[in-house]
Amino acid sequence: MFTIEQYPAHMRQFNSQANPDCPGLSNTWDTIVGGRETCSGSQRIHAYSELCEAMRAGVCGPPLDPEDEQWQPYLAAFKAGMPPHGGCGLGLNRLLQSFLGLQDVREAILFPRDVDRLRP
């Protein structure tokens, strides 16, 4: 098990906070267990103006228009004042796959989905 941190900003989502001490890097991390990514996390941009700037810059993908109607519910919280925040997502199925030595993550999922199966 090991952790990779401070990914290049262009490899992460637009709302990941940049590392203030290392330009071009982001305050993000992944934990690898048994050769598989099992957990990802980051510190998020919390300032409205900085978030809009990151969206327009298209850091990780095409530029996004913060004026577009689809983003208004999300951006409303930032206009009101979002506190500094971050978080992570744990892939329990991937973790179980690693602990049990399974070859395919679908073996650790009750109703796995793929291109041929979209519902149980």
CATH number at residue 66: 3.30.930.10
Q: Is residue 115 part of a domain?
A: no
Q: Is residue 116 part of a domain?
A: no
CA dist 30 and 36 (Å) reads: 10
Q: Is residue 120 part of a domain?
A: no
Q: What's the structural domain count of the chain?
A: 1
> What residues make up the domain containing 71?
2-108
The answer to whether residues 26 and 59 touch, using CB atoms and an 8 Å cutoff, is no
Q: Is residue 99 part of a domain?
A: yes
Under the banding of pLDDT at 50, 70 and 90, the label for residue 67 is: very high
Q: Is residue 70 part of a domain?
A: yes
Rounded to two decimals, the pTM is 0.75
Reference 41, options 78, 85, 74, 71; nearest CA is 85
Q: Is residue 31 part of a domain?
A: yes
Instruction: Give tens-digit pLDDT for 35-65.
Output: 889 999 999 999 999 999 999 998 777 899 9
Q: Would you state the pLDDT for residue 47?
A: 96
Q: Is residue 48 part of a domain?
A: yes
